Amino acid sequence: MKRRDLLRGGALLAASVPAAGLLSACSPNRVAPAAGRPVRGGVLRVGVSGGSAKDTLDPHNPLSYPDQARVVNLYEPLFHHDAAYRLKPFLAESLEPSKDGRTWLLRLRAGVEFHNGKTLDARDVIATLRRIVDPKAPTAGATSLSVVDAGRLRRVDATTVEIPLKHPYALLKDLLAQYSLGIVPEDFDLRKPVGTGPFAYKSFAPGDRSAFTRFDGYWRRPAHLDELHIIDFPDDTAKINSLLSAQIHAIDNLPPAYIDMIEKQGGQVLISETGSWNPITMRVDTPPFKDVRVRQAFRLIVDRPQMVKQVLGGQGRVGNDLYAPFDVAYNSDLPQRHQDLGRARSLLKAAGQENLTVELVTSGGIGSGAIEAAQLFAQQAKGAGVKVKVRITDSATFYGDRYLSWPFAQDYWFTRNYLPQVDAGSLKTSPYNETHWNDAEFNTLMDRARRESDASKRNELLKAAQRTEYDRGGHIIWGFKNQVDAYAANVTGFTANRNLPLSNYEFRNVSVSG
């Protein structure tokens, strides 16, 4: 089936869609997914938000939702977070520090195979870590792993690696648990990607679709499915229509407004409480947001409960301009911000920015609710005398050459703990520093926190760092959204997960019947 066929009939949602859609792919006496037994075989077709000609299979540089869905199924990291966001061993069995915290001993799971039949060896881990931090071509995880002294990595034996650090770092396991740090073989070739995941590469058409086959040599129970097809959908309407007409089996990022419709037509809706957030981003190095008073004013413009109610349909909770809500160091002591249009006007006047006009750049590729949030913020801003012009772009434009340079925009982030999130987006060296945040006090606090082995002292440093972002950072974090996804009635195996959409895009446990 061609993607253009999936996109046909884009007006379906404007009409009354017959209930036959999601039910037509099911057996006459369908069993509720929670009670259904997995069926071996078949093809799962998944519609994933966004994507463009810049799509990639690179395990260490995933940018969009389709990229993330692909890398989770092709590759695996040393550690991972389970459905409740608890840190667990994955390809590794253990990681233990020396007394001074400067050298760690990593022990690998024995007998793990790559898709090409090669057995996982310590050399592959060393080659992977060096690929990630390669100064000539650093990947998205390079900042996180900059603490690793890559030149001195040492193979002790086939399943043991000695990892020297440039300075003590107590949370190395968490850093190694990111989905963008999948282990690849020593001779990895992106043109023929090989990993240890439950699915092996079959085909890839950037901006369109990718196909994968079950890996029968997988170290855990192999997948139920014969094949997995991941299909790009920059447009929500086309994505929902394709699910309703049974052309695909599952979609991520269902707008909450469609929950009732999907369920009434026989489909299933998966709702997961997460730490995911869709910030409004202000570049702190660019006027008018270079002035901290403007940033503070904009944070006081937003009506957070209204955002959660209208944009998320109540599927989420209010945020306080801080991320990583599941981290033990999350600073819940800071006062909750509320809309204060009078104070916002006063701050803008003091900054010489009365009657300010700004452009807010958004895209459907950011995920469900992004465009609605931008439009609602524009309405709220009128109360402070601010005119916000909402510019809606396609995914290819938003995540194209100007990505990370928009003065005022939006983005999306999945659940992370605080230190990995800082490394990914809040340092000068971060790969995705949307706000261009580079605060001397913050940097010092983070450097001290990384080196602190005492958990209570480290948490106090992290809370202090959060206060600097709360006081003068560039993110408007108005809420944390529940992840809402949908799938057909003949699909089983999806369960709530605090990580990525659709059960962390882990399709190994999913099956399709009928």
The two tokens of residue 153 are 């990595």
pLDDT band at 32 (very low <50, low <70, confident <90, very high): very low
pLDDT band at 332 (very low <50, low <70, confident <90, very high): very high
pLDDT band at 28 (very low <50, low <70, confident <90, very high): very low
Buried b (16+ CB within 10 A) or exposed e, 419-429: bbbbbbbbbee
pLDDT tens per residue across span 355-403: 999 999 999 999 889 999 999 999 999 999 999 999 999 999 999 999 9
pLDDT of residue 261: 96
| Between 451 and 506, residue with greater pLDDT | 506
User: Counting Cβ atoms within 10 Å, is residue 257 exposed (0-12), middle (13-18) or buried (19+)?
Assistant: middle
What whole-number distance in Å separates Cα of residue 215 and Cα of residue 76? 13
Q: Is the pLDDT of residue 19 over 80?
A: no
- Contact of 239 with 262, CB cutoff 8 Å: no
pLDDT band at 13 (very low <50, low <70, confident <90, very high): low
pTM listed for this prediction: 0.87
- Contact of 290 with 284, CB cutoff 8 Å: yes
pLDDT band at 429 (very low <50, low <70, confident <90, very high): very high
Taking alpha carbons only, the member of 508, 281, 355, 324 closest to residue 418 is: 324
